[in-house]
Structure 1
Amino acid sequence: MSIYIAFDEFYTKVKESLADGTFAKLTLAKTIGNTDLMNIYVRPAIEEMELKLELKFKFQKEEIFEIHTIESAFPRLLEFINNPFLSAILFTTEFDLTYKLNKKRAVSITEQFPSFTHASPVILDYLALKK
């Protein structure tokens, strides 16, 4: 399976966790070599009464923030899969889902017990606004 098709399947789980209120956070990590960009942290944000995603690009000497719609965040994050990041971890209240590339660029997606017991407060606030 292509690394990009697999990331699309992984991102579907991200969207589902946002919709059902279980999303805690998303992190892209484990870079190839020593790169200036160390991590990308993804958190929900509410802008103009719409649920969006805040992408925090953590560089060695600075941080840059971008706000994206849930749909437009996907191609932005996809740019960094395999260059420089080899893993993405979705943290939800139901499970942790890890997307990982090995040295031969074979993809594995594994589910583990959840690290978080509470969803992102922004998600909970947004769902309360929608009611």
Structure 2
Amino acid sequence: MPFKETFSEFYTKVKSSLEDGTFAKLTLAKTIGNTDLMNIYVRPILEENELKLELKFKHQQEELFEIHEIENAFPRLLEFINNPFMSAILFTTEFDLTYKLNKKRAVSIVEQFPSFTHASPVIIEYLESKK
């Protein structure tokens, strides 16, 4: 997969934000053409006191859910980079990080001012339980 290295760099920031308690949400968006799959929303969940990621696949007519361990979510999300999604946005309390493909499939990763002031409540709960 041609985007594995760059998306891996991006996903490292996702994992860091989960570990340091700043993760708010992750969204894959901007599809190529008219596709049935419109977005993938990623949010943390606690399953048996273990932090995992819930992937919500938003289709035009339905929503499907998958639960993955943090490391196993990476290859699952990578499948959708460039087919059909052209961007992934990591929202944290410190910054928003956008992974974007242009028409020539060149990758850019841009950091912007944060959209969220509060981390995911699940992350806060998880980190508090580890103290």
Q: TM-score with structure 1 length normalisation? A: 0.98
RMSD (CA atoms): 0.6
| Residue in 2 that maps onto 1:12 | 12
Give the CA deviation at 1:23.
0.1
Partner in structure 2 of residue 65 of structure 1: 65
Contact 1:3 1:105 in 2 (8 A): no
Pairing 1:74–2:74 present: yes
- Which residue identity lines up with residue 5 of structure 2 in the other structure? I
Q: What is the one-letter code of the residue matched to 1:70?
A: I
| Inter-partner Cα distance in structure 1 for 2:92 and 2:45 | 16
The answer for the alignment partner of 1:3 in structure 2 is 3
Q: Which residue number in structure 2 is paired with residue 37 of structure 1?
A: 37
Please give the secondary structure, in 1, of the residue aligned with 2:11.
Answer: helix
Contact 1:57 1:63 in 2 (8 A): yes
**Contact 1:3/1:106 (CA < 8 Å) preserved in 2?**
no
Give the whole-Å Cα distance in 2 for the aligned partners of 1:45 and 1:33: 31
Q: 1:25–1:92: 8 Å Cα contact kept in structure 2? A: yes
Instruction: Report SS of the residue matched to 1:33.
Output: coil
Corresponding residue number in structure 1 for 2:118: 118
Runs of 4+ in 1 over 3 A off after TM superposition: none
Question: Which runs of 5 or more structure 2 residues have no equivalent in the other structure?
Answer: none
Query: How far 1:4 sits from its partner (Å)?
Result: 1.9
Question: Percent identity at matched positions?
Answer: 83
How many residues are matched?
130
Q: Which runs of 5+ in 1 are unaligned?
A: none
Amino acid at match of 1:91: F
Q: Write the deviation string for residues 96-120 of structure 1: whole angstroms up to 9, x where unpaired.
A: 0000000000000000000000000
Aligned residue for 1:122, secondary structure, equals: helix
Whole-Å separation in 1 of the counterparts to 2:7 and 2:87: 10
| Distance (Å, rounded) in 2 between the aligned partners of 1:4 and 1:129 | 33
